[in-house]
Chain A
Amino acid sequence: AQSVAQPEDQVNVAEGNPLTVKCTYSVSGNPYLFWYVQYPNRGLQFLLKYITGDNLVKGSYGFEAEFNKSQTSFHLKKPSALVSDSALYFCAVRATSGGSYIPTFGRGTSLIVHP
C-alpha cells in the first residue's frame, strides 16, 4: 500500500520569506513523487515531480522540492514567497512498479502568504 502524510493543515508565511510545505510518503520500492497546486474554484495543477536522479527538483512558478530517501520525504520549497502563492498544495506518491499506477494523494496543506 502507498500513503502520503502532509503533517501541516496550514502554513503561514510572510511575503518575501522562504516557504516549506512538508510531505512524507510510504511506498513499496522506489517512488514517483508529485506536487500539485489548487487555486480557489479550480482543479489541481501539476507543479513538479521526482522520478529519478537529482534529489532537488525544480518546477513551475519558482517552486522546488527535495527528495530525501532516508527520511522518505519530499518537501516543497520556494526561496521567496508571493501572495499569489496562496493556495492548497497536495503531495502525491505512486509506486514505480507493481500495484496501482494511480497516485495516492495527501490531505493537502493550505499555504497562506501574508503581505
Chain B
Amino acid sequence: EAQVTQNPRYLITVTGKKLTVTCSQNMNHEYMSWYRQDPGLGLRQIYYSMNVEVTDKGDVPEGYKVSRKEKRNFPLILESPSPNQTSLYFCASSSPGLGDEQYFGPGTRLTVT
C-alpha cells in the first residue's frame, strides 16, 4: 500500500530536549516536505527536499533541521524544542511529474512544555 508514515504520532516533551520525528514513504517520490498546522494559520511549510541531499527552507524553518540521506526518509529534527513549537506536524511526498499531488502522513502531535 502506498503510504507516508510518521513516528511518533503523539509526543510530549520538555523544553530543550532534542527530538526527531521520522518520516518515510514507499512510493519512490523525489519530493518531500514538512508542514506544521496551527489553528487559524493553516498549513505552513517548514522545509522541503527535491531529492537526496537537496533541502531548502520553507516559510517557517527557524528551530528545525532536516536531512535527506536516503530517498525514502526525511526526518525532522528539533535540536532544542520550545513551547512555540507545540503543533501538529505533517510530512508529505510527491513525484516531480507535472501537477502531481502530495501524499500526506497521518500527522504527529507535538507538545513542548
Question: Which residues from chain A sit less than 8 Å from chain B, CB to CB?
Answer: 6, 9, 32, 34, 36, 41-46, 49, 51, 90, 94, 96, 100-108
Please state if A42 and B42 are interface contacts (CB–CB under 8 Å).
no
Partner-binding segment picked from B13-21, B43-51, B67-75, B79-87: B43-51
Q: Give, as a whole number of angstroms, the nearest-CB distance from A26 to chain B.
A: 15
Known A-B contacts A102-B31, A102-B58, A105-B35; A45 and B45 likewise in contact (beta carbons under 8 Å): no
Please state if A107 and B104 are interface contacts (CB–CB under 8 Å).
no
- A103–B31 Cα distance when bound, in Å, is 11
Residues of B20-70 contacting chain A, CB below 8 A: 31, 33, 35, 40-45, 48, 50, 56, 58
Q: Give, as a whole number of angstroms, the nearest-CB distance from B12 to chain A.
A: 17
The interface residues of chain A lying within 8 Å CB-to-CB of B99 are 32, 49, 51, 94, 96
Please state if B31 and A107 are interface contacts (CB–CB under 8 Å).
no
Q: When the two chains form the complex, which single residue of A9, A46, A100, A101 contacts B101, counting CB atoms closer than 8 Å?
A: A46
- A41–B107 Cα distance when bound, in Å, is 8
Q: When the two chains form the complex, which single residue of A36, A49, A104 contacts B45, counting CB atoms closer than 8 Å?
A: A104
A contact patch SS: loop
Please state if A100 and B107 are interface contacts (CB–CB under 8 Å).
no
The interface residues of chain B lying within 8 Å CB-to-CB of A32 are 98-99
Q: Chain B residue with minimal CB distance to A52?
A: B99
The interface residues of chain B lying within 8 Å CB-to-CB of A102 are 31, 33, 45, 48, 58
- A103–B49 Cα distance when bound, in Å, is 12
Q: Chain B residue with minimal CB distance to A35?
A: B101
Q: Chain A residue with minimal CB distance to B90?
A: A43
The interface residues of chain B lying within 8 Å CB-to-CB of A34 are 101-102
Q: Chain B residue with minimal CB distance to A51?
A: B99
Please state if B33 and A49 are interface contacts (CB–CB under 8 Å).
no
The interface residues of chain B lying within 8 Å CB-to-CB of A6 are 42
Q: When the two chains form the complex, which single residue of B42, B101, B104, B105 contacts A106, counting CB atoms closer than 8 Å?
A: B42
B8 at the interface (CB under 8 A from A): no
- A42–B90 Cα distance when bound, in Å, is 10
Q: Chain B residue with minimal CB distance to A44?
A: B104
